[in-house]
Structure 1
Amino acid sequence: MKKIYLYGNWKMNMLPFEGEEFCRTLGNKMQGDIYSSEMIQVCLFPPFLSIPEVLKSLPEDVPVTCGAQDGYFEDRGAFTGEVSMDMVKAVGCSHVLAGHSERRHIFGESNEIVAKKLAKALEAGLKAVLCFGETLDERESGKTLAVAREQLESAFSGLEKDKGCGIILAYEPVWAIGTGKNARPEDAQEVCGFAAKMAEEHFGTHPKIPVLYGGSVKESNALDLLSQHDIDGALVGGASLKVDSFLGIYENYRTISV
């Protein structure tokens, strides 16, 4: 059975005390052999203000880390409201998201901006989760793979081969984010396999860059999605806000797969 990457993006949810309570409950439930670091890696992405409480409350004996939902591509300066990648690293985060669909489509981040953020995150020594995916119009127009190629080529451009060890990819079709809809397993596999091949061509095969799927992932569809050859885990939104539903994604996959 392959190792699963279970990443939870809380978005603009969870006050600091709620994040603290979540982590304590998570630590109590993530006991036992099925949660060894060889089987699963969990990373939580709280809002910035909840990160300190989450870091303080993370269980020490289970494979859980903390990341930031975003970071800026400049080190410091007159950028009101922004947080630098060095600040993300300094507070104790190990990961950061780059290019989430909501950053692209609500806040207007271009491929160029996403590429700069990715490069800066890697420079800071963070693990960068590079998100990519198409809109409903693009899928219905048959442009899914073309959009994926454009987004990934832009992000990979200028990165040296050795930077691949710091990248995790996350395919998140925009039309499936927070809608209750999700791509069919075979469609998700097609795009994740395409992305894995592009990463291999640019960065080589060692280490293999994990590819996650994000888009209304929950317990009921976890097995079909995580069983696909090129889907190494899930970037979870709404289902990551409750410990049982979050861990249930992995437990459902594992119980039926072993």
Structure 2
Amino acid sequence: MTISYKWLSEYLPVTVDPERLSRILTSIGLEVESMHNYEEVKGSLKGLVIGEVLNTEKHPNADKLTLTKVNIGSGEPLQIVCGAPNVAAGQKVVVAPVGTTIYPSSGDPLTMKVAKIRSVESYGMICAEDEIGLGTSHAGIMVLPEEARVGLSAADYFQPFEDVVYEIGLTPNRMDAMSHWGVARDVCAYLSHHDKKDLKPKLPNSNNFKVDNTSFIIDVKVESQSACPRYSGISIDNV
């Protein structure tokens, strides 16, 4: 069974780091067989930053290259040689400074270094979407909305999803743990005992749930009120 750290954490009243949670799961009979980090975007855009192209000029030694100055919110503006046909002054762009590793949609990771391109030094890269794993287009650099803040990390701007995923060995007798809610109850019981706190799992957030239609009636016959004092259900359509 697969358990999401972030999903499970929504039901826990206290923060438990992923490594400790792994140990707790195994100790309560939900053996963690594997644990790995999940990234919606490989590398999670770490090191990338939002910049603004201050000015552009023709590369002195190449017709299809442009010499740019880019403000990334700290230090002196970066001189970056860019080959994209759509680069222009005033644009908000995604920049990979020297030292940043980028993860293209296809191909191997690439770590930025100071490069000399046709005899002109370049201190990073202005990125296209396919160069940082955000798409497949290589028609030109990504141009962001004007309100994008210079100096903000690309990870904070795009907020790619990250998680820790556990694969647990669930035995047939542990029906109670076949949901994140059930696992959260067991984790809270463990924490209550070992941390000497009375902890209860938080109820799932139902703020965005609303009933659109109450006219669809399903007849249900409860044959034993003592065995089933309450029965409830929900119908879902247009899935």
**TM-score over 0.5 for the pair:** no
Which one has the bigger strand percentage?
A: 2
TM-score, reference length from structure 2: 0.21
TM-score, reference length from structure 1: 0.20
RCO higher in structure (CA 8 A, sep ≥6): 2
Which one has the bigger helix percentage?
A: 1
Larger Rg: 2
